Amino acid sequence: MRNFKEEQELNTLNHSCAHMLAQAVKHLYPEAKFWVGPVVEEGFYYDIDLGDKVISDEDIPKIESEMKKIAKDGKYIVRSEITKEEALNKFAGDEYKVDLISRMDEKDTVISCYTQGDFTDLCRGPHVESTKLLKNFKLVKFSGAYWKGDAKNKMLQRIYGVCFPTKEELDAHLQDLEEAKERDHRKIGKELGIFMFADLVGKGLPMWLPNGFILRHILQEYITNKELSLGYKHVMTPSLGNVELYKTSGHWDHYKDYMFPKMELDNEAYVLRPMNCPHHMMIYKNFLHSYRDLPLRMAEIANDFRYEASGACCGIERARAFTQNDSHIFCTPDQIASEVQGVIDLILDVYRDFGFENYKFRLSLRDKENTEKYFGNDELWEKSESALREILKNSGAEFYEEEGEAAFYGPKIDVQVKSAIGHDVTLSTVQLDYQLPERFELEYINEEGQKARPVVIHRAILGSLDRFVAFLLEETKGILPVWLAPVQVYVIPVNNEYHLGYAKTVAEKLKAAGFRVELDDRNEKLSYKMRESQVKKIPVTLILGDKEATDEVVSYRLMGSRDTTTVSFEELVEVLNK
């Protein structure tokens, strides 16, 4: 999808349309007050105080109708400049605009406003010439939003929209949005029985249903086997830790706002862990290590918990409880390049297995203008960033750099993917860390018999399993390949009275051969059962009737196909394995 924020023409058009939305709302609800109406990647929105009024589905067509009248009227959009004092007088009584104006630097700051007919709003601009250029728009969704994003403040009404130069572009975009709805992992996950949420359990706390458990189990087994083959040692650590552990690691100072509140128990304070590295540092510290023992690749499929604002939670893509495919590689400085390259190779190997192609490597650096939030000195950061940059160059991977995206303890390589519904998601990450070994006083005996500090490489391949499943469901539209599908084969007897016995025999033989099978033995019409198989998006459906039972063969149909193929049982197993 197009990026409204980065494309200048779309940016100007959508910012102007946000003002037209506000004007229409003001016509319909004269008491309305407005906070901000920025352009974002997916279009524009405006945050509006409507008093006790809550926007509903019935309101959107009314607002759109009023916007169309304004566009048809075609008033010129005129820029004017006023002083800060004049602006405070002009918008007196509107606490939202007064707040914006009051936070501007100087008393005599020149402030720009834009007027279209009977409506004037604060804005830096630029804007289009006239409202007649804004006729190709659509309001796409609405939600609540706290003023300034603070849950302590009043809830405002946020209305989202898009605007394009032509009707054709608008129609194409709306079609893409419909496709995105069909691909939304929250919709697919519910339909396929993958996961669920319940407010009584807690916001952002997913519960994995039987099909979801199978899918997660397959993914865990897949990545664990790859790691074991590469010499990783798997461990298991508790899902909470002493606050002192996180004070030692530095997470308490830098990350406590994203942790759940501490629990006081037996004169000690504990927290649900947001990450696993402190636990792994302690496992390493428990043993004596020689340079001959390194690299030590420690891995875990670990449950973690982070406090996310309820408005930031997005299905299993961003939740408060999640499972990480995590690892920490303890190595000597001389081993950094080969170990990071090994991780990159593993990432690429996994992406080939899943057929992922639309991804980019990002070198995530610290913000040099805001260094107080990072550990360590400039020299160490330069050394770490240069090392990762050199490794990426030598690997031949295309990458871009972005300041401010580093972890507080070191720079990292992130693999960014664009999901099928347009979200920018980090799937995999590799992080270089000199700081935690120092804070935990980790050691190994080097070749000279002296104590030395190891370096730690933090890495996640599938990243959060939850986010990975979300991405996978949206990429495949829920039509998973046979090896990943929770149910691989759906067995349908044409008539239960005559064919159920043979269907049961075939289903049991498939289970014995190691396949995941569901037998539909309900007294329903064949057409109904066939539709059920398609709705459940099961890769292979068997239809067993007189011919199949008599000849002891099977007829199968692949997901999305109308063609039926008849083969022996042995040939079917061969097809499934292939």
Nearest to 469 by CA among 90, 212, 136, 132: 212
pLDDT at 454: 96
Which tokens belong to 263?
């629990």
Q: Please tell me the distance from the alpha carbon of residue 391 to that of residue 338, in angstroms, as a whole number.
A: 9
Which tokens belong to 311?
């408005």
pLDDT at 396: 83
Q: Is 147 helix (H, G, I), strand (E, B) or coil?
A: helix
Q: Is 62 helix (H, G, I), strand (E, B) or coil?
A: helix
Q: Please tell me the distance from the alpha carbon of residue 274 to that of residue 245, in angstroms, as a whole number.
A: 12
Which tokens belong to 419?
């999901």
Which tokens belong to 316?
């299993």
CB 435 within 8 A of CB 375: yes
Q: Compute how many other C-beta atoms are within 10 angstroms of the C-beta atom of residue 109.
A: 13
The runs of H, that is alpha helices, within 421-568 are 435-439, 465-476, 496-512, 526-535, 546-551
Write the DSSP assignment of 251-307 as a string of letters: HHHHHGGGSPPPEEETTEEEEE-S-SHHHHHHHHHTS--BGGG-SEEEEEEEEEE--
Which tokens belong to 34?
């407005």
Which tokens belong to 312?
């930031």
Q: Please tell me the distance from the alpha carbon of residue 344 to that of residue 519, in angstroms, as a whole number.
A: 42
Q: Angle between the 336-354 and 210-229 helix axes, to the nearest 10 degrees?
A: 140
pLDDT single digits (tens) 31-82: 999 999 999 988 999 999 999 888 999 999 999 999 999 999 999 999 999 8
- Identify the DSSP state of 154: P
- Identify the DSSP state of 522: S
CB 261 within 8 A of CB 291: no
Segments in the chain below pLDDT 50: none
The CA-atom distances, in angstroms, between 31 and each of 46, 51, 52, 62, 356 are 16, 8, 11, 17, 50
Q: Is 421 left (phi over 0), alpha (psi -120 to 50) or beta?
A: alpha
Nearest to 186 by CA among 464, 351, 421: 421
Q: Is 509 helix (H, G, I), strand (E, B) or coil?
A: helix
Q: Please tell me the distance from the alpha carbon of residue 22 to that of residue 121, in angstroms, as a whole number.
A: 9
Q: What angle do CA 244, 256, 431 make, to 5 degrees?
A: 90
User: Within its chain, how far is the Cα of 294 from the centroid?
Assistant: 34
The neighbouring-strand residues paired with 154 are none
Q: Please tell me the distance from the alpha carbon of residue 212 to that of residue 218, in angstroms, as a whole number.
A: 10
pLDDT single digits (tens) 302-330: 999 999 887 788 899 999 999 999 999 99
pLDDT at 108: 55
Q: Is 72 helix (H, G, I), strand (E, B) or coil?
A: helix
Nearest to 504 by CA among 492, 489, 516, 487: 492
Q: Please tell me the distance from the alpha carbon of residue 85 to that of residue 109, in angstroms, as a whole number.
A: 9
Residue 285's φ and ψ, nearest 5 degrees, are: -65, -20
pLDDT at 340: 93
Q: Is 224 helix (H, G, I), strand (E, B) or coil?
A: helix
CB 459 within 8 A of CB 400: no
Nearest to 80 by CA among 119, 121, 114: 114
Residue 411's φ and ψ, nearest 5 degrees, are: -75, 170
Catalytic residue numbers read 277, 306, 324, 326, 328, 412, 458
Residue length, the chain? 578
pLDDT at 107: 55
User: Within its chain, how far is the Cα of 375 from the centroid?
Assistant: 27
